[in-house]
A = this chain, B = another copy of it.
């Protein structure tokens, strides 16, 4: 795809010289009865009509439902995301050791889930905080996934790592801080792996949709969107879960939409209610963090569930009728 050509095409009829000339002529004809704002408004509308009276609208975005009315279903290791049956994704914030990730994978599998998450490259506010185990973390995650029959998801933060990561992961996550790291998005467009794209810390719906478009226009149409809370003045929760973003994104795009309840709330006491709301409003899946021993976790210690809490979490979602138990068949 050559953006330059798209741009030139797009701007062919909108070039400023034309605008100036048309505005001048309209001004003459209206003899001052129309304000400048009205004239500019009229011009913009006329411009959409085009020279032959036919609408010269831009083509719709590739990710938009106007472009493709049917839902995109992302199939990962035989399991569907966006196929009607919501999926849970769980696992530790960070991969810390073979034992830790294996224990977490066991707990995740035992409750019938198909997807294991775990961070290997951790974007941390401070350079002195735990930065993750890197490629070794990906290896440990894949090993745990293989042993327990789980598809694995992890965040990649450097465009130079995408090829390497595709050797370990079933789904590549692009995190909130990198939602507008366009070089990373472009590389993600060039891989064959599904991409889980998280909404930026303070990204608008429109920016989020265009970030997905960067991936799709570069060749990858296997994209899962993930609402994870936005930054607002309210500090009772870590972020504010923008729950209506889910139906909005599903209206505007054909992509599956998940909700990360751990990062949107940052509070273990809100994971169950937030997940119920997400499922009731139509999310295709829910992400949450679980750790064998949260108090000793190297990151986000206070917001990861232990195994008992995770049991309770899945039980409550099943009891609500909003999430259906998956029979374990290893």
Binding site for B on A (CB under 8 A): 1, 3-4, 6-7, 10, 15-17, 19-20, 30, 33-35, 38, 41-42, 44-45, 48-49, 53-55, 57-58, 123-131, 157-160, 177-178, 180-183, 200-202, 204-207, 210, 213-214, 217-218, 230-237, 240-248, 251, 264-265, 269-270, 273-274, 276-282, 295-296, 298, 301, 320-322
CB-contact partner of A204 in B48, B131, B214, B233, under 8 A: B233
Smallest CB separation, A16 vs chain B (Å): 5
For residue A175, which residue of chain B has the nearest CB? B180
CB-contact partner of A276 in B45, B55, B201, B281, under 8 A: B281
Query: Is A45 within 8 A of B48, CB to CB?
Result: no
Quickly give the copy total for this chain: 4
CB-contact partner of A281 in B19, B264, B273, under 8 A: B273
Query: Is A244 within 8 A of B232, CB to CB?
Result: no
For residue A44, which residue of chain B has the nearest CB? B41
- Set of chain B residues within 8 Å of A245, measured between Cβ atoms: 236
CB-contact partner of A214 in B38, B49, B54, B127, under 8 A: B127
Query: Is B248 within 8 A of A236, CB to CB?
Result: yes
In the complex, A58→B128 CA distance in Å? Answer: 10
CB-contact partner of A157 in B157, B183, B204, B278, under 8 A: B183
- Set of chain B residues within 8 Å of A38, measured between Cβ atoms: 45, 48-49, 55
Q: Decide: A126 near B213, CB < 8 A? Known: A54-B33, A236-B205.
A: yes
In the complex, A19→B302 CA distance in Å? Answer: 14
In the complex, A269→B230 CA distance in Å? Answer: 22
Smallest CB separation, A274 vs chain B (Å): 6
- Set of chain B residues within 8 Å of A237, measured between Cβ atoms: 244, 248
In the complex, A85→B187 CA distance in Å? Answer: 43
- Set of chain B residues within 8 Å of A157, measured between Cβ atoms: 181-183
CB-contact partner of A269 in B19, B251, B270, under 8 A: B251
Query: Is B296 within 8 A of A273, CB to CB?
Result: no
CB-contact partner of A41 in B10, B35, B45, B280, under 8 A: B45
For residue A251, which residue of chain B has the nearest CB? B269
